[in-house]
Amino acid sequence: MKSRRWEVEVNVDWDVLKTILSEPKKTLLFFPYFKEFDGQKVRFEVPRFIFNFGYEFELDVGFGNSEAIYTFRGERGILTVTFKVQNGRLKVTADWAGFGEALMGKPLEIFASGIAEAVQEFCTSLKCPVVKVSEEGGEVTRITPDSAPALLKRLALEFGTSFMVEGTADDGTYLAAKVVNGKLVELRLKQGTRESVISTDVSVVELDEGLFEDLPLDRSFKIKVRELTP
């Protein structure tokens, strides 16, 4: 069996983290190598040399004392991902038993580190200034370049990997963000008669304040969110 572990700091308690991990249909979409999840089967594609090797699994999710286990069972082997919180740190361990075991060291390391960092980012997003979010809409208080990435990560947990969020401030400022397949692809800003569009291609998990620094934020927005078909 091949095994790799990665650790990151987390700023939430176990109950919050358990809520995030209890919805794999949302969290799996941001795992490294993820290809698709139809509710029954999960498919990953792992690049090795010039090929992509496809792995298809059935997923079981279990919880223990400050611990969660994702068990992926497929014809090529068993992949086990363990999440454990201890002293403010999240430990993610990825174990593989099966086809190509001897060559899976580096892919497992990328898998464990990518999962840990994605979950860490989603934990951070829970601090975003959303008063409430629902299918009808919500309100964001004093959004800033620092909190804008957290907002989009929070919405990704709520609405999945493809959605449009539109916000209007009291002074008429309009701001919209379009996310497709887990990537921010467009920012649209309108103030009075001036309108600008920024095209980008950045994973929601990797967003930081840099993309939002020059935008006229620092105000409250009433927002509407709708899911998109990729």
Tell me the per-residue pLDDT of 186-195, one tens digit each, with 9 for 90 and over: 999 998 888 8
> Which pLDDT tens digit goes with each residue over 24-36?
888 888 888 888 8
**Length reported for the chain:** 230
State the chain's mean pLDDT as an integer: 84
Tokens of 44: 């990953």
Segment 58-73, tens digit of pLDDT = 999 999 888 999 999 9
Percent of all residues in the chain with a pLDDT value above 90, rounded to a whole number? 25
Cα–Cα distances in angstroms (integers) from residue 154 to residues 137, 158, 190, 204, in the given order: 14, 6, 24, 10
Q: What is the pLDDT of residues 103-133, one digit of tens each?
A: 788 888 998 999 998 888 887 777 665 555 6
- Which two structure tokens, joined as six digits, stand for 43? 């498919």
- The pLDDT of residue 50 is 44
- Residue 168 scores a pLDDT above 60: yes
pLDDT at 136 over 60: no
Burial class (CB in 10 A: 0-12, 13-18, 19+), 46: buried
Domains of the chain in sequence order? 2-125 (3.30.530.20), 130-227 (no CATH)
* pTM of this structure: 0.74
Residues 139 and 223: beta-carbon distance below 8 Å: yes
